[in-house]
Structure 1
Amino acid sequence: MGAGWAWAVVAAMSATPGPQVVSPLVKIRPGVAVEGSREARLSVARGECEATQVVLPGRVERARVEPLALKGPGAELKASVWRQVFVDVKTPSNGEGRPGPWPDALVPVEAPVTNASHPAVLYVEVCAPEKQAPGTYRGELKVKAGDARAVPVPFSVEVQPFALPATASLPTSFGISLYSIARGHGVSPESPEARELLRAYGRTLLEHRVSAHGMSMSPPPVRFENGRAVVDWRAYDAEMGPFLDGSLLPSGARFTTAEVRDSRQASTDAEKTAYYRAFAEHFRQKGWPAQLFFYAKDEPKPEDVPLVQAQSKRVRAAGGIPVLVTSPLDDSLRVAADIPTPTINCFYPRPGPQTCRTVLTPGTLRARLPKRAKVWWYQSCNSHGCSGGPPEDKAVDAAYSGWASYMVDHPAPLNRAMGVMAYASGVDGELYYDTVFAYNTKKDVWADVFEFGGNGDGTLFYPGTPARLGTQGHQPVVSLRLKHIRDGLEDYEYLRLLTELGDGAFAQAAARRLARSGWDITRDAGQWESVRQEVTARLRKLWSESEYAKRPGRQTPDSTP
């Protein structure tokens, strides 16, 4: 169910030193013993990426990797390889975390090593295109650490007959900002270089099944004639069109959502409504299937209620654009929200102090909403704690521990669990406020991503500058956590596909074995991999019996015949 469900054989190592293959659901830290295998065995659906970790022995000041090509019944599969870089956590996110080095950034293997005392860990990823021929593919990853001879690591990849859709089935909207990116990379936000970087960051999110809001944040210019909004869409379409029409990636993947960019040029209620109406009409004319929405005042306080109600009234008058409100269920806001979006801790009651003022299960929440409403959720410091460090009160620490989390110093299964939870709960989408928040601070992002009481809260990238990477140009550097988020979204696709093929009960039972609630999540990598194998076997059987397997090209259920 997604990259990271590596079928790596976990076995005791022999006395001979050599690379170890370790599940990516284990965060490898200095001084913490791990057990692995001498070979990597991966399973990947068509249209999916799968990864594992290769741990090199001893101190490694430089490493070289020969390109890994895997041969089998179809076109060669290529592997991408990165080296993990550690973040020094000074203040744990809560009692769940620990101080010290934690792996997170994924840099090119040839990038300068800043601390050779840290474990040398490679992240090796194989992606199978949707049209890849099923079957077994084999090859060797040849790694040369320092002056030692190159050591081969056998790889086998089983490409499954079933396929995942290129565009994510679960709508998402994660924040990103041109201005933060420009500041993190030390370039002018008005420069062509900043625009190219913005597209690279957006492309990287799309490659990880994530859609974005924010981007350049520039609303299209508008003027008003006889009550009608006349909008110049050229710059907006140049920026957003490739993300919305499927032309950016070879897979045809598209953003699942897009937010209305409010414009100060629309000053009256009538002008705002006309402008919103023009936004909705433009999306219809373009045929963009992304869910267009209006992001109301974020986390409104009681004094913000009149503003949110006024925003909602103007948007609804335009028609066709739902209003998203980030708040627990509140009678004063319920009538204003078409997409009510509480934090995840508002969905799961638990013993001890509650960290949300209104805790309702998804079913109970839906019963109190209009039928047209969609229910989204999001993570914030309301679930990991907003002050940082373990609270002195053990009951409070327990209340903020165990939740699905995007923090650096939390276990990988917690980073990954949102997809499984989304399937089990039936929520309609996920919001996340930012992916580059720390770029807009004065700190060195590579040394410190602590914000809002959490390590990595709102920051899922690192600025890949030439000085840091030794490259000619700038590039986004992804985090392990973004990989885990992608893996979770692929978990969602596995479970959704299983349901599409007629066995939703099996899928629900599998999901519950991994995430019994938002705060009771299996940490054991072996258990995740065991469930993965069972779900894969069930999918293979149902796929072979289904109508999709008989179609030319074996389209996914969401594909156009």
Structure 2
Amino acid sequence: MVAAAMSATQQEPQVLSPLVKVRPGDAVKGRKDARLSLARGECEAVQVALPGKVEHPSVEPLTLKGPGAAMKASVWREAFIDVKTPSNGQGHKGPWPDALVPVNAPGHDPKLPTVFYVEVCAPEKQEPGTYRGQLRVKAGSGKPVPVAFTAEVQPFALPATSSLPNSFGISMYSIARGHGLDPESAQARELLRDYGRALLEHRVSAHGMSMNPPPVRFEKGRAVVDWSAYDAEMAPFLDGTLLSSGARFTSSDVRDNKQAKTDAEKTAYYRAFAEHYRQKGWPAQLFFYAKDEPKPEDVPLVKAQSTRVRAAGGIPVLVTSPLDDALNSSADILTPTLNCFYPRPGPQTCPTVLEATALRKRLSGNTRVWWYQSCNSHGCTGGPPDDKKVDAAYSGWASYMVDHSGPLNRAMGVLAFSSGVDGELYFDTVFAYNTKKDPWKDVFEFGGNGDGTLFYPGTPNRVGPSGHQPVLTLRLKHIRDGLEDYEYLRLLSELGDAAFARSAARRLARTGWDITSDAGEWEAVRQEVTARLRKRWAESEYAKGPGRQTPQSTP
């Protein structure tokens, strides 16, 4: 399933690793058949590429049968985004695969590669064993060509909710604008739930959402809050009822409220927020997102915010900043950018670079350490800078950019495991929806292609009669796979093989800027980790218990 050279005359579909981004002119060679391995509670995918110019590609539904309930595959066609300005020296102009559209969506260009993204998910209760089926692909009026699929469902299971707390931004108002809808409409609210569901299905939690704070009034210093609209929006994501897996958001943000005007009212309102979560029994970590990336002149504001929130009790304050003596005492969750954790020769892109263990020693004992990607991972101006040393300083990092490789898109989970950070933040997933540009034509923001945008607006003219929907991306799939890498390594460590897990992680990502680009090596490491997990699982108490449950980590 690794990309390599392919004869131009070969006409059989090629099965490729999901980490390979097939671009126009690429010579690709994969396998004739698809072989997947997945844990219970995991999704895994391959790409199926059709050679030559293909008019009206289609597929027949794929069902895999084996010792347990049949598993149905999901299939998308990959659509291309035209990159006009590379994110940096690692990027390139021209079409890049990113959007995952329905197979029959309009707008297929036969001059571009025809690639299907085929995904199989095993519920946690799936019976382990070997499952088989055939994907029948068709080009135009030609005969369907079968592609054999084998999926090996492993005996061990991954938890439905991510063990690594995370929070990615999303906004109903941006979604409504991207889809041309009234943000106050029921359709916009339903679409927000669809986007939130898509994130949760990929192990990602969200902050922002509708952005609407619950109404509040104050009686004798106590905040009286109307939670009805808030609960209607958020409860399914927090109580595990939205997905059949029971997955929940790992975290959720406090929505500041203009109705709370004084410091005392703000504190009472925050206290009511924390109490509501306790009464509901929602395990998600509630946090207050302080002024984003505060400048020196913002320090008094952040300190005032922190004082008010801490007076309420039970809500940590998240501050996006590198280590800074002026802000450290205000942060309960300090969140520097990725490049602040890994020393590197050449021009420095963070004022204070400390590995996670060293950073913790400089903070109070209860302060947690998250991290996030920013334009510091690719350069904030876009395009290769004239100074090669500067370009090198902004190259190689784990990255969510369209024109960077699949391994770079996926690496954050492995890095989170090896570094020991407590969580991940990302500022937005639909940022380009709220600009004057068409995201389908241009997602270049903050010097990178796709910075802050992990979806495309699936309007009827783009996806066909199925109607408004979030269009997923290859990058979101890679992020999900990275979070599953984290689960594999975490589980292996908890089952007594921590040294091997750390060694496996280092083979894939030595640092945040030294990441293995070979898709074959990623597959090889996954196979070795899987073999060790099978052995450790068979020896563990979890394999003997009812339902063969997996150990859970508390976010």
Give the TM-score band, short-chain normalised.
over 0.9
Question: How far 1:514 moved relative to its partner?
Answer: 0.5
Change (3 A) 1:432 1:559: closer
* Structure 2 residue 382 is the aligned partner of structure 1 residue 388: yes
Contact kept in structure 2, 1:465 and 1:471, CA below 8 Å: no
In 2 relative to 1, CA 553–489 (structure 1 residues): closer, same or farther, beyond 3 Å? Answer: same
- The answer to whether the Cα contact below 8 Å between 2:107 and 2:462 also exists between their aligned partners in 1 is no
Q: Which amino acid aligns with 2:457?
A: P
1:373 aligns with 2:400: no
Q: What residue in structure 2 maps to residue 296 of structure 1?
A: 290
Counterpart for residue 71 of structure 1: 65
In 2: Cα distance, 1:93 partner to 1:276 partner:
40
**Partner residue of 1:224?**
218
Q: Aligned to 1:234, which of 205, 228, 231?
A: 228
Query: What's the secondary structure of 2:218's corresponding residue?
Result: strand
Is 1:287 the counterpart of 2:272 in the alignment? no
Structure 2 contact 127–153 (Cα < 8 Å) conserved = yes
Alignment RMSD, CA only? 1.2
Matching residue of 1:310? 304
Tell me the amino acid that sits aligned with residue 296 of structure 2: P
2: distance between equivalents of 1:419 and 1:10? Answer: 23
- Measured against aligned partners, the alpha-carbon deviations of 1:288-319 in whole angstroms (never above 9, x if no partner) come to 00000000000000000000000000000000
Match 1:38 to one of 32, 35, 44: 32
In 2, Cα distance between the equivalents of 1:106 and 1:296? 34
1:248 to 239, 242, 247: 242
User: In the TM superposition, what is the alpha-carbon distance from 1:265 to its structure 2 partner?
Assistant: 0.5
**Count of residue pairs brought into register by the alignment:** 553
1:88-127 to 2 correspondences below 5 Å: 88-127=82-121
Secondary structure in structure 2 of the residue aligned to 1:548: coil
Match of residue 465, structure 2, among 459, 471, 474: 471
The residue aligned with 1:411 is 405
In 2, Cα distance between equivalents of 1:475 and 1:386 = 31
Please tell me whether the aligned partners of residues 42 and 156 of structure 1 are also in contact (alpha carbons under 8 angstroms): yes
Cα shift readout 1:54-97 (whole Å, capped 9, x = no counterpart): 00121112122111001100000110000000000010000010
> What is the aligned partner in structure 1 of residue 79 from structure 2?
85
Tell me what 2:330 maps to. 336
Seen in structure 2, the aligned counterparts of structure 1 residues 11 and 31 have a Cα distance that, compared at 3 Å, is closer
SS at match of 2:344: coil
CA gap 1:133/1:472 in 2 versus in 1, 3 angstroms: closer
Decide whether the 8 Å contact of 1:61 with 1:113 is kept in 2. Answer: no
Name the structure 2 match of 1:322: 316
Confirm or deny that 1:56 pairs with 2:50.
Answer: yes
One-letter code of the match for 2:374? Answer: S
CA offsets, 1:303-346, max 9 Å, x none?
A: 00000000000000000000000000000000000000000000
Q: Distance in 1 between matches of 2:373 and 2:3?
A: 32
**Offset, 1:472:** 4.0
Closer, same or farther in 2 for the Cα pair 1:472/1:138, shift >3 Å?
Answer: closer
Which residue is 1:503 aligned to?
Answer: 497
- Runs of 4+ in structure 1 deviating by more than 3 angstroms, as ranges, are 8-16
Q: Distance in 2 between matches of 1:238 and 1:547?
A: 39
Q: Which residue of 2 is the match for residue 142 of structure 1?
A: 136
CA contact (8 A) 2:163 2:553 kept: no
Contact 2:10 2:51 in 1 (8 A): no
SS at match of 2:18: coil
Contact 1:9 1:40 in 2 (8 A): no
Superposition deviation, residue 148 in structure 1:
1.2
- Residue 380 of structure 1 aligns with an amino acid whose one-letter code is S
Aligned-partner SS, 1:355: coil
Q: CA deviation at 1:35?
A: 1.3
Distance 2:343 2:337 in 1: 13
2:417 pairs, out of 423, 444, 447, with 423
CA offset digits 1:450-481 (Å, max 9, x no partner):
00000000000000000111124200000100
SS in 2 for 1:331: coil
Map of 1:160-171 to 2, 5 A cutoff? 160-171=154-165
- Cα distance per residue 1:251-309 (max 9 Å; x no partner): 00000000000000000000000000000000000000000000000000000000000
Q: How far does residue 382 in structure 1 lie from its aligned partner after superposition? A: 1.5
Cα contact 2:3–2:20 (8 A) shared by 1: no
CA contact under 8 A between 2:56 and 2:108: conserved in structure 1? no
Structure 1: stretches of 5+ with no match in the other structure? 1-7
DSSP-derived class of the 1:136 partner: strand
- Structure 2 counterpart SS, 1:18: coil
User: Cα–Cα, structure 1 residues 367 and 13, in superposed 2: closer, same or farther, change >3 Å?
Assistant: same
Aligned to 1:206: 200
CA distance in 1, matches of 2:323, 2:424: 17
Q: 1:495-519 CA distances to partner (integer Å, 9 max, x unpaired)?
A: 0000110111111110011000000
